[in-house]
């Protein structure tokens, strides 16, 4: 039950306890050039978090690796400032920031004091709006990207994750944010400048600011910043079928890293929340079935988990385990057995415990402006709308134990993509990977 009060709060009555959630004001604005601006005003904090993304990720270009280099090169100076001068100016205002390249978007994420936003917002926007893209810095950017690829050799679990996406997702959404050695070496400054002109455009771009902000001020500031930012054509991505299957990556190691993936409801699917509860029960915590059955009771592995990642499209559940060569085959068998057993339903105790844990996570994320900016950005991208903390909690309140079991009773996990990294091939029945 949700009870509104007069102090811009909501109370959630649950298990004889009252949980008070401050209802922060979320507002939307769309600029004439197509840029989406979203703010969440929280006067109870002193920080603001900015999350700004342009649809220029690795899936949006013809050659894998170009966007990775572009994300690095936009940090090498803006307008009349060198890279060091730009960095020093951001540091002067206490801006904690990061530029990252993902599958669909290059994003700026930052956190700073609210009273510094007026000085810092133009400096942050300059990464996308006014990068100099200096040719002299391209060799250094290539070197950093190549080092990141080389670093994978020291992280077998990450190798497995990259290879899992490569085989489970349709191209070009299966590309990694590392790029490839060949394309990174071959990319020219002319190519990067053309990509910037083509895909770093306001339409399909989203900027979210959460925390100690006032919506109208943010809109006025950003509107002025992007007044000369012209829209381009919406990016159309042609896909090809996923490879799927089982894949072994041999590496001389004393461990074996196992990674599984199977399709799941997209974020807009009405069953998305039911899937989230079910997979959290399955492998989302130390009280989950995977941890209990595979690690604690059988001591087959040192780590095991499963996570549902809902998105706009190509959503998936990913399951991971780390074990030894001697226990790898049994670990795979038990993980798949537990996944099959999940279709028989969950218990009321598991349901209550998991829903309460999910609520706690939502509320705790509400304490962080960075987490709220990330959540709002993800909502706008995947759903085309945003949700407050109170709305997210209300959605969980509406999930019934019977509905989760009804969903699982007819859930077909389908073909499972399986990738493992270890010293030798495993003897596993491939028919077991259809649950």
Complete DSSP assignment for 200-243: --STT-EEEEEES--HHHHHHHHHHHTTT----PPP----B---
pLDDT of residue 3: 36
Mean pLDDT to the nearest integer, 405-409: 97
Q: In the block, which residue shows the tokens 């699917």? A: 269
**Percent residues over pLDDT 90 in the chain:** 86
pLDDT of residue 125: 97
Domain boundaries, the chain: 2-225, 246-433
Q: What is the pLDDT of residues 229-246, one digit of tens each?
A: 999 887 788 899 999 999
pLDDT of residue 40: 97
Q: What is the dihedral of CA 287, 350, 22, 95, to 10 degrees?
A: 30
Mean pLDDT to the nearest integer, 368-378: 96
| In the predicted structure, residue 68 carries a pLDDT above the cut 90 | yes
The dihedrals phi and psi of 211, each to the nearest 5 degrees, come to 130, -140
**Percent residues over pLDDT 70 in the chain:** 95
pLDDT of residue 325: 96
- CA 180/CA 182 separation, integer angstroms: 6
| The domains spanning 2-225 and 246-433 adopt the same CATH topology | yes
Structure tokens at 212: 């100690």
Instruction: Provide the pLDDT confidence category of residue 62 given band limits of 50, 70 and 90.
Output: confident
Mean pLDDT to the nearest integer, 248-257: 94
- CA 434/CA 206 separation, integer angstroms: 38
pLDDT of residue 10: 54
233-242, 248-257, 288-297, 352-361, range with the lowest pLDDT: 233-242
Q: Count Cα neighbours of 343 within 13 Å in the Cβ-side half-sphere.
A: 11
Structure tokens at 298: 């059988």
Whether the predicted model's global pTM rises above the 0.85 cut: yes
CA angle 34, 35, 39 (to 5 degrees): 135
Mean pLDDT to the nearest integer, 402-415: 96
The CATH architecture annotation of domain 2-225 reads 2-Layer Sandwich (3.30)
Q: What topology does CATH give the domain 246-433?
A: Cytochrome Bc1 Complex; Chain A, domain 1 (3.30.830)
Mean pLDDT score across all residues of the chain: 92
| In the predicted structure, residue 13 carries a pLDDT above the cut 60 | no
16-20, 90-94, 259-263, 341-345, range with the lowest pLDDT: 16-20
Mean pLDDT to the nearest integer, 353-371: 94
Instruction: Provide the pLDDT confidence category of residue 65 given band limits of 50, 70 and 90.
Output: confident
365 or 257: which leads in pLDDT: 257
Mean pLDDT to the nearest integer, 335-352: 96
| In the predicted structure, residue 407 carries a pLDDT above the cut 50 | yes
Instruction: Provide the pLDDT confidence category of residue 22 given band limits of 50, 70 and 90.
Output: low
Structure tokens at 16: 């004889």
Beta strands in 326-422 (DSSP E): 417-422
| In the predicted structure, residue 17 carries a pLDDT above the cut 50 | no
DSSP 94-146: T-EEEEEE-SS-EEEEEEEEGGGHHHHHHHHHHHHHSB---GGGHHHHHHHHH
- CA 187/CA 334 separation, integer angstroms: 45
| In the predicted structure, residue 2 carries a pLDDT above the cut 80 | no
Q: What is the pLDDT of residues 81-128, one digit of tens each?
A: 999 999 999 999 999 999 999 999 999 999 999 999 999 999 999 999
Burial class (CB in 10 A: 0-12, 13-18, 19+), 160: buried
- CA 207/CA 78 separation, integer angstroms: 19
Which residues have a Cβ under 8 Å from the Cβ of 78 and sit 6 or more positions away? 86, 123, 126, 127, 129, 130, 131, 132
- CA 402/CA 407 separation, integer angstroms: 9
Q: What is the pLDDT of residues 164-177, one digit of tens each?
A: 999 999 999 999 99
- β-pair partners for 250: 422
Q: What is the pLDDT of residues 179-226, one digit of tens each?
A: 999 999 999 999 999 999 999 999 999 999 999 999 999 999 999 999
Question: Are the beta carbons of 266 and 272 closer than 8 angstroms?
Answer: yes
Kindly report the number of other CB atoms within 10 A of residue 180's CB atom.
16
| In the predicted structure, residue 19 carries a pLDDT above the cut 60 | no
């Amino acid at each position: 039950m949700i009870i509104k009060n007069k102090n811009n709060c909501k109370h959630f009555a649950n298990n004889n306890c009252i949980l008070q959630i401050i209802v922060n004001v979320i507002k939307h604005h769309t600029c004439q050039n197509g840029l989406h601006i979203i703010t969440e005003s929280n006067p109870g904090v002193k920080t603001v978090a900015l999350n700004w993304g342009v649809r220029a990720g690795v899936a949006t270009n013809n050659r894998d690796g170009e966007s990775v280099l572009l994300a690095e090169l936009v940090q090498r100076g803006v307008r009349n400032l060198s890279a060091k001068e730009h960095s020093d100016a951001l540091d002067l205002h206490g801006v904690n920031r990061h530029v990252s390249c993902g599958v669909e978007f290059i994003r700026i994420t930052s956190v700073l004091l609210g009273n510094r936003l007026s000085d810092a917002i133009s400096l942050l926007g300059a990464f996308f709006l006014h990068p100099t893209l200096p040719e002299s810095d391209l060799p250094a950017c290539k070197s950093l990207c190549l080092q990141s690829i080389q670093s994978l050799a020291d992280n077998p679990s990450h190798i497995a994750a990259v290879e899992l996406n490569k085989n489970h997702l349709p191209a070009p959404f299966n590309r990694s944010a590392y790029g490839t050695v060949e394309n990174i070496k071959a990319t020219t400054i002319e190519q990067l400048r053309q990509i910037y002109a083509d895909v770093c455009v306001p339409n399909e771009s989203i900027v979210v600011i959460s925390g100690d902000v006032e919506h109208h001020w943010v809109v006025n500031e950003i509107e002025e910043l992007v007044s000369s930012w012209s829209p381009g054509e919406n990016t159309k991505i042609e896909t090809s079928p996923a490879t799927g299957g089982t894949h072994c990556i041999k590496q001389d190691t004393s461990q074996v890293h196992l990674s599984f993936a199977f399709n799941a409801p997209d974020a807009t699917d009405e069953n998305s929340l039911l899937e989230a509860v079910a997979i959290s029960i399955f492998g989302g915590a130390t009280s989950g079935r995977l941890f209990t059955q595979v690690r604690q009771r059988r001591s087959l592995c040192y780590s095991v988990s499963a996570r549902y990642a809902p998105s706009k499209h190509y959503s998936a559940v990913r399951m991971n385990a780390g074990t030894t060569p001697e226990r790898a085959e049994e670990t795979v068998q038990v993980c798949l057995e537990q996944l099959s057993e999940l279709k028989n339903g969950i218990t009321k105790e598991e349901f209550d415990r998991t829903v309460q844990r999910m609520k706690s996570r939502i509320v705790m994320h509400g304490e962080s402006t960075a987490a709220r900016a990330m959540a709002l950005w993800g909502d706008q991208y995947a759903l085309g709308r945003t949700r407050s903390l109170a709305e997210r909690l209300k959605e969980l309140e509406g999930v019934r134990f019977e509905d989760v079991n009804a969903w699982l009773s007819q859930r077909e996990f389908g073909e499972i993509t399986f990738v493992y990294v270890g010293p030798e091939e495993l003897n596993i029945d491939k028919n077991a990977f259809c649950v």
